[in-house]
Amino acid sequence: MASFTPSTTTTTTTHNFSTITRNPLLTKSSQLSTFRSTQSRRIPSNISCNATNNDESNKFDRRNLLIGLGGLYGAATTLTSGNATLAAPTAPDATQCVPSKIDDGSPLQCCPPKPSQFVDFKLPKVNPKQLRLRPAAHLVDDKYLAKYSKALALMKALPDSDPRSFKQQADVHCAYCNGGYHQVGLPNLEFQVHGSWLFFPFHRAYLYFYERILGKLIDDPTFSIPYWNWDHPDGMYMPSMFNDKNSPFFDAIRDQNHLPPTLMNLSYDGPDTVSNLTNEQQIEQNLTIMYKQMVSNAKKPTLFLGASYRAGDPVNPGPGTLEIQPHGTVHNWTGNPPPNTPFWEDMGNFYSAARDPIFYAHHGNVDRTWSIWKDISRKHKDFKDKDFLNSYFYFYDENAKPVKIFVKDVLDTKKLGYDYQPMDLPWLKSRPTPKRNRRPKKLVKKVFSTVKNAVAAEADTNNPVVPTLVFPRKLDHIIRTNLARPRKSRTQEEKDDEEEVLVIDVESRSDVYSKFDVYVNDEDESPTLENRTQTEYAGSFVNVPHRHSGKDGHLKMTTIKFGLSELIDDLDANDDEGLDIIFVPRTGTDSVTIKDVRIEFQD
């Protein structure tokens, strides 16, 4: 959805707790914080449409490049504050697919057959009373299993050269997610469908054509793929249909410790972390994670759907809540970790994930959550931004014809002809509670007064004072910092209008499964896994391994965001001037750097 936010430059300053006077000509969300406890401040320089998460130096380079290409994208130019900035939808250059690379740099051919011409996708004629109903995988009967088994066996029997074959369908994910494409007209910029607002629409379109191909092969236009119902206690296990060695659903390259009847962990920390949680505690934690990702952390479209990603932007501007976890954690919980496999194949690496038939059931549930999120609140709506709606992808349909499909084509599952078997949503009642009474307000204010002029010094574990640290910082140990709030004591109307958001810029290795947790006002010296069911747990960063053509071939930059308004209310911290932020490394964080942390407001 279009909004006006200040473009920014960053300067280093001393600590300053003053704030800029609100400008009545701008929306509330366009007033960025002038204070950062990281000792950096964003100074408004001009106003540009949807500038959030974009690097301004990149914008002018991008604008000049696109103008030099003769307006290839047909994008509109917006004039603001005397400067012109250009925005445009992004898309892969399907004529220039190149071999992807495995994490060791070896080439991997994932490109589909080169088409002569693509045709624009047209929505099917749908009878709303006869929608294809995607079933929960743990509830399917023998008749359905026989039908799906036949369809998948026929898909696997197709020659590899056929774009409808299982190999080619698996390679779609490899090409789009592991460096196979660059952006149209921008050969030096990789195209990536993860880590942005393209995540949900791409995977919906991907599964749509996969499903249509299967139905065509068995001459059954009503056929639908199942979804892995991991957000319900009954579905928090690997569905048994995928563990039958004699079926086409089987993949031997899975974590053997997570086969049925092992209960899954939606906040999986990797094989080296030992959990002492009982099954009841694990289910409680899973439901709390779902509540966090679908409700308290997802009150605005940019928080749930992900950051904007336009032509000329670098990859991974910022994933949405659900993409981080459980999407990312389920991938690696299912995949087989090193040293059992070289790079966490199959499900645990983007290049190989779709080789496992369970991938499509996993993403069926991911797709389902997009629809559920929009039903939770009337305020939950898709972006109306034309750059979002007019971004597009290429696939082969059930007739092996190349198709160009736009994001705007896939916003409604019913218009695509399918829906999901209804299931209870117990996580809606799993709002976390604070684990203990908070410190007296007088002590909090005294502590904040003590540290507000502190310099970069590590916290003394014997001292309740949490210093305000300077970033960047390597996440090779627990980091605690006090972060000033730009505005406090907000009314409920202000909270409904703007979400207070914790924003964290992260540098990490893209080829490593890395994860860290973030806590707010948690007084434990080392928050444990049990703490994730408590209000103090804000969320996690998760990276699913993949090849990234960034710095040193692996380092990537991204931004994660956590909603704070509900958390602050539950911690009775609405009147506090600052929050204690705790970063807890869980796995693969040796090369993770917290580049910056701040509080912003999102409308």
Give me the catalytic one of 362, 363, 546, 554.
Answer: 363
Is 15 part of the annotated catalytic residue set?
no
> DSSP 3-state assignment of 411?
coil
Q: How far, in Å, CA of 45 to CA of 214, rounded?
A: 53
DSSP string, 244-308: -TTSTT--S-S-GGGSTTPPP-TT---TTPPP---HHHHHHHHHHHHHIIIIIT-SSHHHHH---
Which of 60-74, 144-158, 588-602 comes out lowest in average pLDDT?
60-74
DSSP string, 519-559: EES---SS--GGGGGBTTEEEEEEE------SBTTTEEEEE
Q: Answer yes or no: is 554 a known binding residue.
A: no
Set out the domains of the chain in order of their start, with CATH numbers: 100-429 (1.10.1280.10), 473-602 (2.60.120)
DSSP state of 152: H
Q: Could you tell me the pLDDT band of residue 566, with boundaries at 50, 70 and 90? A: very high
DSSP string, 470-527: -S-EE-SS-EEEEEE-SS-S--HHHHHHSEEEEEEEEEEETTS-EEEEEEES---SS-
Q: Average pLDDT, stretch 34-40?
A: 33
Q: How far, in Å, CA of 302 to CA of 53, rounded?
A: 11
The secondary element (H helix, E strand) that includes residue 144 is: helix 142-157
Q: Does 41 have pLDDT greater than 50?
A: no
Long-range residue pairs from 550-556, CB within 8 A, at least 24 positions apart, any chain? 550/314, 550/315, 550/510, 553/105, 554/103, 554/509, 554/510, 554/511, 555/507, 555/508, 555/509, 555/510, 555/591, 556/315, 556/316, 556/507, 556/508, 556/509, 556/510
Give me the catalytic one of 15, 138, 182, 194.
Answer: 194
CB 108 within 8 A of CB 351: yes
* Tens digits of residue pLDDT in 197-243: 999 999 999 999 999 999 999 999 999 999 999 999 999 999 999 99
* Tens digits of residue pLDDT in 82-110: 333 457 999 999 989 999 878 777 888 99
Is 380 part of the annotated catalytic residue set?
no
Q: Average pLDDT, stretch 274-283?
A: 93
Neighbour tally for 68: CB within 10 Å: 10
pLDDT for the residue 104 = 74
CB 296 within 8 A of CB 430: no
Tokens 């759907």 found at: 305
Q: Does 21 have pLDDT greater than 70?
A: no
CB 93 within 8 A of CB 314: no
Neighbour tally for 434: CB within 10 Å: 16
Q: Answer yes or no: is 380 a known binding residue.
A: no
Give me the catalytic one of 15, 327, 380, 546.
Answer: 327
Q: How far, in Å, CA of 190 to CA of 171, rounded?
A: 17
Q: Does 466 have pLDDT greater than 80?
A: yes
Q: Answer yes or no: is 363 a known binding residue.
A: yes
* Tens digits of residue pLDDT in 331-361: 999 999 999 999 999 999 999 999 999 999 9
Which of 249-253, 263-267, 445-449 comes out lowest in average pLDDT?
445-449
Q: Which of 484, 490, 598, 502 is nearest to 17 (CA)?
A: 484
Q: How far, in Å, CA of 473 to CA of 479, rounded?
A: 9
Q: Average pLDDT, stretch 113-128?
A: 92
Pairwise pLDDT comparison (586 vs 16), residue with the higher score:
586
| Token pair in block for residue 258 | 């997570």
Q: Answer yes or no: is 15 a known binding residue.
A: no
Length of the chain: 603
Q: Answer yes or no: is 331 a known binding residue.
A: yes
Q: Average pLDDT, stretch 424-431?
A: 98
Is 138 part of the annotated catalytic residue set?
no
Q: Could you tell me the pLDDT band of residue 116, with boundaries at 50, 70 and 90? A: confident
The secondary element (H helix, E strand) that includes residue 84 is: strand 83-86
Q: How far, in Å, CA of 457 to CA of 389, rounded?
A: 47
What's phi and psi for 213, nearest 5 deg? -65, -45
Q: How far, in Å, CA of 235 to CA of 244, rounded?
A: 17
> DSSP 3-state assignment of 23?
coil
In this structure, which amino acid lies at residue 585?
P
CB 479 within 8 A of CB 594: yes
Q: Does 73 have pLDDT greater than 50?
A: no
Mean per-residue pLDDT of the chain: 84
Percent of the chain with pLDDT over 90: 73
Q: Give whole-number Cα distances, 549 to 400, 553, 556, in Å.
A: 31, 5, 9
Give me the catalytic one of 15, 182, 232, 331.
Answer: 331
pLDDT for the residue 3 = 37
pLDDT for the residue 65 = 41
- Please list the residues that pair with 578 across neighbouring strands: 484
Q: How far, in Å, CA of 519 to CA of 419, rounded?
A: 37
Q: Give whole-number Cα distances, 421 to 11, 124, 133, 214, 374, in Å.
A: 52, 21, 6, 19, 17
**CA-based Rg of the chain, rounded to a whole angstrom?**
24
Q: How far apart are the first and last CA of the chain?
A: 10
Which of 326-335, 404-413, 451-460 comes out lowest in average pLDDT?
451-460
Q: Answer yes or no: is 194 a known binding residue.
A: yes
* Tens digits of residue pLDDT in 505-550: 999 999 999 999 999 999 888 898 888 999 999 999 999 999 866 5
Q: How far, in Å, CA of 582 to CA of 563, rounded?
A: 15
Is 363 part of the annotated catalytic residue set?
yes
| Token pair in block for residue 82 | 């005397």
Give me the catalytic one of 15, 121, 138, 173.
Answer: 173
Give me the catalytic one of 166, 209, 242, 350.
Answer: 350
pLDDT for the residue 525 = 86
CA contacts within 13 A on the Cβ side of 88 = 25
| Token pair in block for residue 331 | 């991938």
Q: Angle at Cα 485 formed by Cα 482 and Cα 489, nearest 5°?
A: 130
Is 203 part of the annotated catalytic residue set?
yes
Tokens 């149209």 found at: 184
What's phi and psi for 407, nearest 5 deg? -55, -40
Q: Give whole-number Cα distances, 587 to 204, 513, 531, in Å.
A: 30, 7, 17
Neighbour tally for 45: CB within 10 Å: 13
- Please list the residues that pair with 84 across neighbouring strands: 79
pLDDT for the residue 464 = 59
The secondary element (H helix, E strand) that includes residue 190 is: strand 186-190
